[in-house]
């Protein structure tokens, strides 16, 4: 099929965007983020044919949460809707709530020397959007395991559990009977599609693990953590995954879960892992076929021909991958998230039947837990670069792209800073100097509702630190917090969903998080919704 010529439309859109910005504010941006992802009006897009896929009914189809979400998506589906998403890419910014996106937008623009406030991220230029409610079956403010399960399997479940329905008892694998689910990745593999997962977190961590694992405890990443039960640990579930012919590409951190302590990690010179079964699970992977390969660093990554039939397990760190701001200081050490995303799309595109891909920026969450906004925003910007890479490599006629978060964090943006003030800086009302709180001390635009920088218990005379001579834009600065907490917590507000491609129009209004699965399943034709 010939692609429509969208050049004139994009030029018009650029002109309209620029005019609106100038009219709205005297400080117009020097340039904006790419708008190549904008879609032309419906009458300019040639009609795509429906996919010839036989959708399945997953085993969780009778779950009340599944039924409710199915009905909600059905109510937004046009009568003439047909599945047209040959490929699906789901981007998850772990912990990337509204305040993180806003701050990340300003940060990314300012890093480019542009007007940060009016800058637009690639994800923000996707034509459809919604808000997603993130509560779990048992928690008002959820964790990443239950929220990932919602997106991958279309149900809500208990926090701290993976891939299982809400009848599970946390930490009790004997209670898993009858609680299994089929994730969108298992369904895709069994339908003959290619699949892949990319994450800057451990590949056995909550979000990526929800694509392939079922666990009564998200912490059972290796057999040492399972604690002597007969439950299969998450790393073992990955290499033993029997859906279709298995993942084509798995790229992230967390090789420690794949090795015993008796082995030495080549990068650190320390114990490679802590498995008690003494298994080297990377050998289990490479023994599957001559195409199965294992890599650990940038050199290994660059040596792979991703336009081949290689099936790549890349584990670039013993635990999580580096934050982007640290990785950028040693770019020879490990690939960026954009590079990993591009490699994964290249590999998965070798399959003519289509693919499903997860890309997670897992360390946004970790930086927030440490009240370290600089690294959280650095990783948000890195995710946006990965989104742009995907948009550049795919066709909006056949690829559904979704960008969302699993939950939010307690990051706040406040204090009346002047337009153009550094987003990581102290609040300044203008050229006249830094603003001061009622205690006479300066404060930053970004702060947290709780975290390790709050006043610890027992310190009745605890006073807020004077930031007058502190460089708050340094990547190692930790923002001040209101309430002391050893680790800053998640937040419970709704998070954005941005989407483009076939089926993206089903995202609108405020949705339940588990509806994301149903949009992916319906748009791709992988799940049947006929009564």
CA 366/CA 380 separation, integer angstroms: 12
CA 356/CA 376 separation, integer angstroms: 26
Residue 284 is inside which H or E element, if any? helix 281-286
Q: How is the beta sheet containing 481-484 ordered, strand by strand?
A: 411-413, 446-451, 481-484
CA 296/CA 357 separation, integer angstroms: 21
Of the residues 99, 132, 136, 144, only one is catalytic, namely: 144
Q: Could you give the residue ranges of the DSSP H alpha helices within 425-500?
A: none
CA 513/CA 94 separation, integer angstroms: 14
CA 156/CA 72 separation, integer angstroms: 15
The candidate with the shortest Cα–Cα distance to 452, out of 478, 417, 429, 485, is 485
Structure tokens at 40: 């032309």
Structure tokens at 178: 């009858």
Cβ-count burial of 468 within 10 angstroms (0-12 exposed, 13-18 middle, 19+ buried)? exposed
Relative to beta strand 249-253, strand 311-315 is parallel
Structure tokens at 162: 């993976």
CA 20/CA 35 separation, integer angstroms: 15
The candidate with the shortest Cα–Cα distance to 96, out of 364, 403, 321, 337, is 364
Q: Is 144 a catalytic residue?
A: yes
Q: Residue 510 half-sphere exposure, CB side, CA atoms within 13 Å?
A: 5
Residue found by looking up tokens 């005019």 in the block? 19
Positive or negative torsion for Cα 74, 76, 81, 85: negative
DSSP state of 185: H
The candidate with the shortest Cα–Cα distance to 521, out of 92, 39, 54, is 54
CA 240/CA 444 separation, integer angstroms: 49
CA 31/CA 224 separation, integer angstroms: 52
Residue 313 is inside which H or E element, if any? strand 311-315
485 neighbors 451 (Cβ within 8 angstroms): yes
DSSP state of 139: -
> Any idea of the CA torsion for 250, 323, 91, 391, to the nearest 10 degrees?
-100
373 neighbors 446 (Cβ within 8 angstroms): yes
Question: Catalytic residue positions?
Answer: 144
């Amino acid at each position: 099929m010939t692609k429509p010529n969208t050049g004139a439309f994009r030029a018009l859109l650029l002109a309209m965007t620029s005019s609106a910005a100038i009219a709205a504010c005297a400080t117009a941006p020097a340039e904006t983020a790419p708008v190549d992802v904008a879609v032309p009006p419906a009458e300019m897009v040639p009609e795509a044919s429906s996919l010839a896929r036989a959708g399945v009914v997953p085993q969780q189809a009778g779950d009340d949460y599944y039924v409710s979400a199915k009905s909600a998506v059905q109510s937004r589906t046009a009568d003439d809707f047909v599945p047209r998403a040959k490929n699906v890419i789901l981007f998850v910014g772990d912990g990337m709530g509204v305040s993180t996106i806003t701050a990340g937008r300003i940060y990314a623009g300012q890093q480019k020397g542009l007007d940060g406030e009016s800058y637009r991220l690639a994800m923000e230029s996707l034509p459809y959007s919604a808000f997603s409610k993130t509560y779990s079956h048992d928690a008002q403010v959820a964790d990443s395991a239950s929220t990932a399960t919602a997106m991958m399997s279309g149900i809500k479940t208990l926090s701290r559990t993976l891939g299982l329905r809400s009848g599970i008892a946390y930490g009790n694998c004997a209670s898993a009977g009858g609680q299994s689910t089929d994730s969108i990745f298992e369904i895709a593999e069994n339908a003959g599609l290619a699949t892949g997962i990319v994450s800057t977190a451990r590949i056995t961590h909550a979000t990526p693990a929800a694509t392939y694992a079922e666990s009564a405890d998200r912490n059972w990443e290796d057999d040492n953590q399972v604690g002597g039960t007969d439950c299969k640990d998450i790393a073992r579930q990955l290499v033993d995954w029997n859906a279709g012919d298995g993942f084509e590409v798995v790229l992230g951190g967390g090789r420690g879960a794949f090795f015993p302590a008796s082995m030495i990690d080549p990068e650190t010179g320390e114990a490679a892992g802590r498995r008690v079964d003494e298994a080297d699970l990377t050998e289990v992977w490479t023994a599957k076929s001559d195409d199965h390969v294992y890599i650990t660093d940038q050199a290994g990554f660059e040596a792979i021909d991703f336009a081949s039939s290689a099936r790549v397990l890349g584990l670039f760190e013993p635990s999580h991958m580096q934050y982007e701001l640290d990785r950028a200081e040693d770019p020879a050490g490990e690939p960026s998230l954009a590079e990993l995303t591009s490699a994964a799309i290249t590999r998965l595109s070798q399959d003519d039947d289509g693919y499903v891909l997860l890309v997670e920026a897992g360390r946004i969450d970790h930086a927030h837990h440490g009240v370290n906004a600089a690294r959280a925003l650095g990783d948000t910007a890195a995710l946006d670069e990965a989104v742009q890479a995907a948009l550049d490599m795919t066709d909006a006629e056949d690829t559904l792209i979704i960008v969302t978060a699993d939950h939010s964090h307690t990051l706040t943006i406040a204090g009346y800073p002047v337009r153009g003030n550094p987003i990581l800086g102290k609040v300044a009302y203008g050229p006249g100097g830094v603003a001061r709180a009622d205690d006479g001390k300066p404060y930053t635009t970004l702060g947290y509702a709780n975290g390790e920088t709050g006043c610890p218990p027992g310190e009745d005379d605890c006073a807020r630190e004077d930031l007058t001579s502190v460089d708050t834009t340094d990547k190692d600065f930790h923002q001040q917090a209101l309430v002391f907490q050893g680790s800053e917590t998640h937040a419970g507000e709704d998070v954005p969903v941005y989407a483009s491609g076939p089926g993206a129009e089903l995202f609108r209004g405020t949705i339940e998080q588990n509806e994301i699965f149903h949009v992916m399943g319906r748009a791709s034709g992988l799940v049947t919704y006929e009564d």
